Structure 1
Amino acid sequence: MVIKVANHGWPLPCIFPVGNVQWVATTFTVLAEPTRRRILDLLREQPRSVGDLVTELGLTQPGTSKHLKVLRDAGLVRVRRDAQRRWYELRPEPLAEIDSWLAPYRRLWSGSLDKLEQHLDSMD
């Protein structure tokens, strides 16, 4: 599938269905916030309650809850109730989609680093 980029006019191959372009942009916006990335890092280790996250992050409960709502709305975390507590856990599937999209760019970067390493080795 090919979509046109408004300002450039050149074709952009897109592995995401056109309807998901907004989702990808939203996900990157959500991930741009350092506190949200820290929450995902903590949830990668294990599910945590809001109280656990408040303690780990040093934020207020309302502040932590706002970040969790944004992450939940973006589909990056899920919540389950257990009596009086809400447990948050990472949903890795959306991140796997983004990782798949980034793979070709990672290979380009890796190739550049390999060339730099070869050049530096030749200087010895």
Structure 2
Amino acid sequence: MVELEAPQLDAVFHALGDATRRRMLRDLTQGERSVGDLAQPFAMSLAAASKHVKVLERAGLLQRRVQGRTHLCRLDPGALATAHEWISFYERFWTSRLDVLEGLLRKEDAQKPSGDTHD
């Protein structure tokens, strides 16, 4: 299982816990965007958008570069991929548990008399 240090994992899930930041990340899948571009769908100030960008940046979900007075952001998918691996561990755990349950239910059904129609 991939182990992320708790602060990094916490930062990723904190960043993803906000709908505005998730939308910003989705917008960045289309390519590099300025902070102003990221703010536009929300009619928020550049200062408010910048706070969201900083959270995403600290979580390692985006990279920012300055070009003149413009701050340009681009998606950094590494942290998302690592978080996905962490989640996948639990997906595999629950899938295996459900497979065991299915096997038990099938075994129980097979042991029922064929004329039994009661549930």
**TM-score, length-scaled by structure 2:** 0.70
Which residue number in structure 1 is paired with residue 47 of structure 2?
A: 62
Cα distance in 1 for residues equivalent to 2:7 and 2:38: 29
Q: Does 1:16 align with 2:6?
A: no
Unaligned runs of 5+ in 1: 1-13, 116-124
Identity across matched positions, percent: 33
Which residue number in structure 2 is paired with residue 52 of structure 1?
A: 37
Note the 1:1-124 alignment, pairs <5 A.
Answer: 15-16=2-3, 20-107=5-92
Cα distance in 1 for residues equivalent to 2:42 and 2:94: 33
Residues 109/45 of structure 1: CA separation in 2 closer, same or farther (3 Å cut): farther
Cα distance in 2 for residues equivalent to 1:101 and 1:90: 20
RMSD: 2.4
2:11–2:59 contact (8 Å) kept in structure 1: yes
Unaligned runs of 5+ in 2: 103-119
How many positions carry a matched residue from both structures? Answer: 100
The structure that has the greater radius of gyration is 2
Cα distance in 2 for residues equivalent to 1:102 and 1:44: 21
**TM-score, length-scaled by structure 1:** 0.68
Q: Which amino acid aligns with 1:101?
A: W
SS of the residue aligned with 2:29?
helix
Cα distance in 1 for residues equivalent to 2:51 and 2:69: 19
Identify the structure with bigger relative contact order (alpha carbons < 8 Å, sequence gap 6+): 2
